[in-house]
Structure 1
Amino acid sequence: MSRPFATSLQVPAGALAPALPPKRRAALALLVILGTGVLVGLVFGLWPGLDLAVTALGFDPAQRMFTHAYTPSLQTIRDVNDIIVRAVAVTAGVILILWLAAPKVAAARLPGALSLRAALFVLATLAVAPGLIVNGILKPHGGRPRPIEVTQFGGTLDFVPWWSPFGRCDANCSFASGEMSSATWLLAVAVLLPARWRSLGIVAVLAWALVVGGARMAQGGHFASDVLMSAVITALTVWGLHALILRPGERTA
């Protein structure tokens, strides 16, 4: 009797989906961020009425108010995001202090991913994106009124597109979204995860950021372009500081 014909179905690991080299992954990430920014900027810049149309979905013309402006669950989302951001920032600060005060103890006790550079990276991205760019420059000086402040939704100020610096908002303006920036900033933590968890972490952060941004839109606090462009600005900051602070080939890079 002849031996039965057997076919091996074993495929070498990585043969079906080979991992990209770090430089190509970084280039692809940058391309996605910039492409998203250009697309969002052009769409909402050329058709600013789209911002009004999206915002109108949560506005009740009869009552002249946003239906979910005071919904407790949406406020809870904001509070949870604030708690997460503060917890991550404090943790990164403690790690940084430990490395500076007792480097030998830090080297012996902390996992490799929690390096001095990693702590600096996390804190720097928080300070630059949500801190300096969004809350330090854009919101105080952008001039764009929030949805609840424009005439189309019961306010007294004129609507302006996301790119216009000629709005009549004096402070704490609509562009860009601070909550969206802080939620997207959590990408700085996701990219430090082990390789097998990194993609899942990035997806989870982006999903959470969309929840946070959607809550602010439903409350009448921001337009869609405020939320989306804030995410782009923050993600681009994370990408740039990752390239500057974390060395190529480092375990956390």
Structure 2
Amino acid sequence: MSRLSVPSLQVPAGALAPALPPRRRAALALAAILGTGVVVGLVFGLWPRLDLAVTSLAFDPALRLFAYTYTPSLQAIRDVNDTIVRAVAISAGVILILWLAAPRVAAARLPQALSLRAALFVLATLVVAPGLIINGILKPFGGRPRPIEVTQFGGTLDFVPWWSPFGRCDSNCSFASGEMSSAMWLLAVAVLLPPRWRPLGIVAVLAWALAVGGVRIAMGGHFTSDVLMSAVITALTVWVLHALILRPGERTA
């Protein structure tokens, strides 16, 4: 007796979860960034004492200090973040110089992802977000005292909400967090990964940034709103510069 052959049903790859077009992905990413910024800004703007409540969890009222300030493991996270940021910046600089000095060699030897536009994008996001916006404008002129400087935690200055420009900090102020911005800047690298690895890379950067931001809160260096708003500002900068620098090249290709 001959066997009845049953034709196999083959589902094309991606049919069950079709990939979103680039414009749609970009729009969703922008909506997520802006939505997070609005929620964080409103919550900590309308209830500013929430910042004090979260920070108080890391403050020892008996000793009148932040107990985790000199914890080696937390300091190690700061050191690792600084090393990663420096390594990525130097690598992007070397790639940029190679493209400018020997474009034929760069085209022949470097992977497609390490293009001239990619190097420009990575360096531009570093200069604009952590460099210009956070450390060049907000921290010197924001006026918000750090947690260790306010009266609630043993300091001498009055607490002000994240949006207030009337704090009495003179320089290197609390809003916004430079280290959080540098950690979130690594999103510029994550979005350059191949599509199959890009979501994992973005999730890894977000998790790492939360760890760095948590360390700064635990040490009394920043309020929660400083950390979260810094993340939003940096992510938005990465999105805008990606649209200006990389997306025109993608359309040309």
- What TM-score do the two structures reach when normalised by structure 1? 0.96
Match of 2:43 in 1: 43
List per-residue Cα deviations over 1:60-96 (Å, max 9, x = no partner). Answer: 1000011101111111111110000000000000000
Task: State the AA in 1 paired with 2:44.
Answer: F
Residue of structure 1 equivalent to 2:53: 53
Q: Counterparts in 2 of 1:34-113, with a 5 A limit?
A: 34-113=34-113
CA distance in 1, matches of 2:235, 2:83: 20
1:26 matched to 2:42? The reply is no
Equivalents in 1 of 2:161, 2:148: separation in Å? Answer: 15
Partner of 1:125: 125
Report what 1:147 is aligned to. Answer: 147
Which consecutive segments of 4 or more residues in structure 1 shift more than 6 A? none
How far residue 142 of structure 1 moved from its aligned partner, in angstroms, is 0.2
Deviation digits for residues 199-244 of structure 1, max 9, x if unmatched? 0000000000000000000000000000000000000000000000
Structure 1 counterpart of 2:161, which letter? P
What amino acid is the match of 2:121? Answer: F
Measured against aligned partners, the alpha-carbon deviations of 1:35-56 in whole angstroms (never above 9, x if no partner) come to 0000000000000011000000
Asked if residue 193 in structure 1 is aligned to residue 179 in structure 2, the reply is no
SS of equivalent to 2:247:
coil
Q: How many Å separate the matches in 2 of 1:142 and 1:9?
A: 62
CA distance in 1, matches of 2:3, 2:225: 67
The 1:4/1:181 distance shift into structure 2, 3 A limit, reads same
Change (3 A) 1:7 1:53: farther
- The two structures have a TM-score, normalised by structure 2, of 0.96
Report the Cα offset of residue 3 of structure 1.
Answer: 5.2
The RMSD of aligned alpha carbons is 1.6
Unmatched runs of 5 consecutive residues or more in structure 1: none
Task: Could you tell me which runs of 5 or more consecutive residues in structure 2 were left unpaired when the two chains were aligned.
Answer: none
Note the C-alpha offset of 1:12.
1.7
Q: Distance in 2 between matches of 1:107 and 1:158?
A: 56
Q: Distance in 1 between matches of 2:216 and 2:175?
A: 12
What is the percentage of aligned positions where both structures have the same residue?
Answer: 86
State the Cα distance separating 1:10 from its structure 2 match: 3.8
Cα distance in 2 for residues equivalent to 1:54 and 1:8: 58
Tell me what 1:162 maps to.
162
Q: Give the Å deviation of 1:15.
A: 1.2
Equivalenced residues, count: 252
1:167-186 CA-to-partner distances (Å, cap 9, x unmatched) read 00000000000000000000
Tell me how far 1:247 sits from its aligned partner. Answer: 3.0
The residue matched to 2:172 in structure 1 has which SS? coil
Q: Distance in 1 between matches of 2:7 and 2:233?
A: 52
AA paired with 2:213?
Answer: G
Question: Aligned AA for 1:216?
Answer: R
> 1:41, 1:62 → 2: CA distance?
32
Query: Is 1:221 aligned to 2:229, yes or no?
Result: no
- Change in 2 beyond 3 A, CA 1:7/1:37: farther
Partners of 2:222 and 2:16 lie apart in 1 by 43
1:210 aligns with 2:210: yes
Secondary structure at the counterpart of residue 246 of structure 1? helix
- Shift of residue 141 of structure 1? 0.2
